[in-house]
Amino acid sequence: MRLGISYHENVNNWATASLLDTMKKKGHDAVPIRLADMGAEIPSRFIHIDDDVTNLAGIIVRTIGFGTGDQITFRISLLEQFEDAGIYVMNPAYSFRRAKDKYATLTALHKNGIAVPKTFIGENLEAAMEFVEEVGDVVIKPLIGARGLGSIRAKHEELTYRAMKFVHQLGQVLYVQQMIDKPDRDIRAFVIGGELVGAMYRYLPEDDDDEWRTNVHGGGRAEAASLSAEYEECAVKTAEVLQLDYTGVDILESKNGPVVIEANASPSWSALSRVTGLDVADMIVDHLVEKAKR
């Protein structure tokens, strides 16, 4: 089968490279594709640099890269046109786009009965401040972010206001969320094809009392976890609601049970593989092949 994988800056990225290796090992023709190097001809021909890739059976979207509003719109549109032309896109174009957008994600989850933190999203500073006065301890995050980067936690209202003003002046949308009272760890649950394949706890870094993020890239320690039925169900339902073929769901253990903060549409799994021994790339590629056959 001819299979693609989208990358942007670095084709040697750990996850991208292991997916490419796995595809090749399984006898597939694996094509790394930079969406920024794509051209589309109407009617229905897709060209990557000088290679006609219209005959791809499926593509794993690791990233659509960075760019201007125009460039991002084109690349998302391209994924939709791949789908229209019968190329299986994983994760599906709309699911990928929605999972990258924390506002759209939480809205969909909440509508389907999954607990999420109280959150304000908007461009008006005064409205955001009113929310902060109401809920108290908050975290300010980028609307589209990963690895805990760009998140701010200000413990006083005055500092929160100044942080939000700064974010606002940068032209960013304000995404302000109530801090959930929880243990010094969170859960990362990995779901592929509607099944929980593995999970880990991520503990807060021990050498930094002020850190509130458990992201492994920020120094959080990973440990294999076996989830209770309640948490497993929450992870599987999150993937199902968001229609993600594979995802890493971030779940907080609140006093009232699982609270989901995001579902990653192109998660890495190096920490998960290390602590569980799972061959995640193998399972992801098998799932893509299964989907692309139909």
Contact footprint for Mg ion (CB under 5 A): 250
In angstroms, give the least distance from the CB of 206 to Mg ion: 19
Complex with ligand ADP: residue 31 or 179, whichever CB lies closer: 179
CB neighbours of residue 203 within 10 Å: 17
155 binds ligand ADP (CB under 6 A): no
Place of tokens 């893509």: 288
| Strand bridging mode 2-7 / 58-61 | parallel
Rule CB under 6 A: choose which of 147, 155, 162, 293 binds ligand ADP. 147
User: Rounded to whole angstroms, how far apart are CA atoms 197 and 191?
Assistant: 6
DSSP string, 210-224: T-----GGGTPEEEE
Query: Does an H or E element contain 28, and which?
Result: none
User: Rounded to whole angstroms, how far apart are CA atoms 142 and 146?
Assistant: 9
145 binds ligand ADP (CB under 6 A): yes
> Looking only at residues 156 through 185 of this chain, which bind ligand ADP when binding is defined by CB under 6 A?
177, 179-180
Rule CB under 6 A: choose which of 212, 243, 253, 291 binds ligand ADP. 212
In angstroms, give the least distance from the CB of 272 to ligand ADP: 14
Number of residues that bind ligand ADP (CB under 6 A): 20
In angstroms, give the least distance from the CB of 119 to ligand ADP: 8
Rule CB under 6 A: choose which of 16, 63, 214, 238 binds ligand ADP. 214
In angstroms, give the least distance from the CB of 94 to ligand ADP: 19
User: Rounded to whole angstroms, how far apart are CA atoms 136 and 178?
Assistant: 7
Whether the upstream peptide bond of residue 91 has omega within 30° of 0, thus cis, is yes
